[in-house]
């Protein structure tokens, strides 16, 4: 099953025999709060216009637990996540399509969580809401209680020790901007740099100017060139497990399975005892 869907395909599916549940996960990593400006309001954006029938999902509340020692966006409590998904109308036997404002990170986080907890049919709208060519709706659909019960997967998830080991035994991609990987700047976390052995693979290189994913063969060539050989185990991390989910999605589009270190740099760097590498060299 393809991990992404085009706007035209979604429009067709919405009038088909088994229309998908559509989740709107608009979110932005914003430093506006520090500047005294109001943070981005995803619900307000949703209420001003969304794909008809879409249900709003809050990334910070529904797709992550409270920030702390395990990172800024750790795994949510699974009972609370399941309740949020059922409240959004997610059924185990009905397709799900997720979109955000175009960056793709938040939608990918929802995609990854639903896939990791056992939903068999989840796709991300390629290009997000800007790619949607139909009319937008301001109507909030009536609540429909779904039946999805999350069951965490045995694979696809890394902790700090697993990420460190994978950087030695396989390929661990760092999806953040190159300057953060190299430790030249660090606007959020305690210290800059990267996990020793990790390879820089900024997630913005996986998409074109329109925010849509590059063709699968181009993505495959990119990741192969960065070390993702056919027999290599692959993992990804970022700042807090959001843009990293987008890279896992890009890898899935390329046909390369990958695990996600959800705690990512926000967890790793919070512990002064963990080693930190700086500069362009993975080591």
Catalytic residues: 238
**What is the chain's alpha carbon radius of gyration, rounded to the nearest angstrom?**
18
Angle, alpha carbons 179-238-10 (nearest 5°)? 115
Q: Closest Cα partner for 106 from 263, 10, 247, 243?
A: 243
CA geometry: angle 185, 191, 192, nearest 5 deg: 40
C-alpha 179/C-alpha 57 separation (Å) is 31
Q: Containing H/E element for 73? A: none
Name the strand (E) or helix (H) holding 111.
helix 105-116
Phi, psi of 61 (to 5 degrees): -90, -40
Two tokens, residue 15: 């009038």
């Amino acid at each position: 099953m393809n991990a992404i869907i085009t706007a035209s395909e979604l429009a067709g599916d919405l009038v088909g025999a088994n229309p998908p549940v559509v989740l709107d996960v608009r979110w932005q990593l914003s430093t506006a709060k520090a500047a005294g400006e109001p943070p981005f309001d995803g619900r307000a954006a949703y209420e001003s216009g969304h794909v008809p029938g879409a249900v709003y999902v809050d990334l910070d509340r529904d797709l992550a637990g409270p920030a702390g020692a395990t990172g800024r966006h750790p795994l949510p409590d699974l009972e609370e996540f399941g309740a949020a998904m059922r409240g959004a109308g997610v059924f185990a036997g009905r397709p799900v399509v997720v979109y955000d404002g175009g960056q793709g990170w938040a939608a990918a986080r929802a995609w990854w969580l639903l896939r990791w907890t056992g939903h068999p049919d989840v796709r991300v709208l390629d290009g997000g809401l800007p790619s949607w060519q139909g009319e937008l709706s301001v109507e909030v659909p009536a609540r429909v209680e779904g039946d999805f019960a999350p069951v965490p997967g045995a694979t696809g998830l890394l902790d700090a020790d697993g990420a460190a080991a994978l950087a030695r035994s396989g390929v661990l991609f760092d999806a953040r901007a190159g300057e953060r990987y190299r430790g030249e700047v660090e606007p959020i976390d305690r210290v800059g740099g990267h996990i020793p052995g990790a390879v820089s693979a900024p997630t913005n290189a996986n998409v074109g100017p329109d925010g849509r994913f590059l063709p699968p063969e181009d993505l495959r060539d990119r990741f192969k060139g960065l070390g993702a050989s056919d027999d290599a185990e692959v993992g990804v991390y970022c700042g807090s497990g959001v843009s990293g989910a987008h890279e896992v999605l890009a890898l899935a589009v390329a046909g390369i399975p990958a695990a996600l270190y959800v705690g990512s740099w926000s967890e790793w760097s919070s512990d002064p005892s963990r080693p930190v590498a700086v500069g362009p060299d993975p080591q």
